[in-house]
Chain A
Amino acid sequence: MDFYIIEEENIQNFTPLMEQSYGHDNIYIRMSNDGTLGLMNFTNELAPIGYFSYTLGEIKVIMNSSNWNDEADK
């Protein structure tokens, strides 16, 4: 399951694809601090066209950036 950063306005449309990728609807979409982007997961087959896929190592770096990290103890 790869990671995709999706614009907030497209998240609702793509949510069924994420649920289908997991095979269940217990999903959580982590949002950027400014609320404009969401982190979603899809299988390769179900990923929306035109979006870049990130590996876990790549997305960990992005999630530690200031627009995503809400932890206070950096």
Chain B
Amino acid sequence: MGLPFAFWQTSSSFTASTASFILNGVNEYISVPATTNLSFTDGVSDKPFTISIWINTSDLRYNRLIKKDSEYFIAGNSTTQWYMRIFTNSTNYVSVRMTTGHAEGQWQHIVFTYDGTYTLNGITSFQNYTDSVMLASVSAGSAGTYTGMVASSDIVQIGDTMTSNISYISIYDKQLSQSEVIELYSGGALFNISSSSFIGSCISWWRNDQTDDVTITNGVIDQVGSNNGTAQNMDISNIDNGNIPT
């Protein structure tokens, strides 16, 4: 005999973001402990990766947003162009820069992708996007001889010297394709990355919103992996209600 009522399986609930984190660019950041899956090397060669960021800033010039100190960082240059640097060490590194400046004071979706083959293919190993549009990228600020990244015990630091609002930051262990970046951009709205077609390549996704707790250790939750972050020098005033990409 069947059950008297129909039981419907509800889809897993997803709480929409209503806030972003606002960081002062002085001494507020999210600290994520070093783990092997946030270093992109097998000890000999680089491995591909992608970093995706939603950001609203008017403080891009000369400032850094995210870094793993001796391995990689993303920052702005003097003309509001984003660039990413990857390091062999402090004197041997390469940088790739988007040739279009960032639109300050509005939300933008920034994605840097790397296929892991810089030592073979040079700058063409990077493909970078703003609001899902692939932008021309050039070499910038390189020094010495880059021979590949070296895994370190440095934390991943989200937030550094850039005053900004940040939202969904995610890291992948592959070079996302243009179609995947378009899916991630989702027409300019925040997107439940757990439902993406490439979720299997997502290492970590930090929402940086009202669902996180900035007052406790490991309160900035990695929605995909286990790389929870801890907000430093932050309190509830860092949760900026109503300020999200739309």
Contact = CB atoms under 8 A, between A and B. Distances in A.
A and B interact physically: yes
A28 B26 contact: no
Given A3-B26, A28-B29, A71-B62, A23 B235 contact: yes
B215 A59 contact: no
Contacts of B237: 1
A26 B24 CA distance: 16
Chain B interface size, as a band, is 20 to 34
A39 B232 contact: no
Contacts of A56: 24, 26, 163
Would you call the interface of chain B mostly helix, strand, loop, or mixed? loop
Interface string A63-74: 100000101011
B208 interface: no
Interface residues of A, number: 20
Would you call the interface of chain A mostly helix, strand, loop, or mixed? loop
A59 B55 CA distance: 22
B231 interface: yes
Interface string B128-156: 00000000000001000000000000000
Contacts of B24: 56
Interface of B: 24-27, 29, 31, 62-64, 75, 77, 141, 161, 163, 215-217, 230-235, 237
Given A23-B215, A30-B27, 18 more contacts: A1-B235, A22-B234, A23-B235, A24-B216, A24-B235, A26-B215, A26-B217, A26-B230, A28-B232, A28-B233, A39-B27, A56-B24, A56-B26, A56-B163, A60-B163, A69-B161, A71-B75, A74-B62
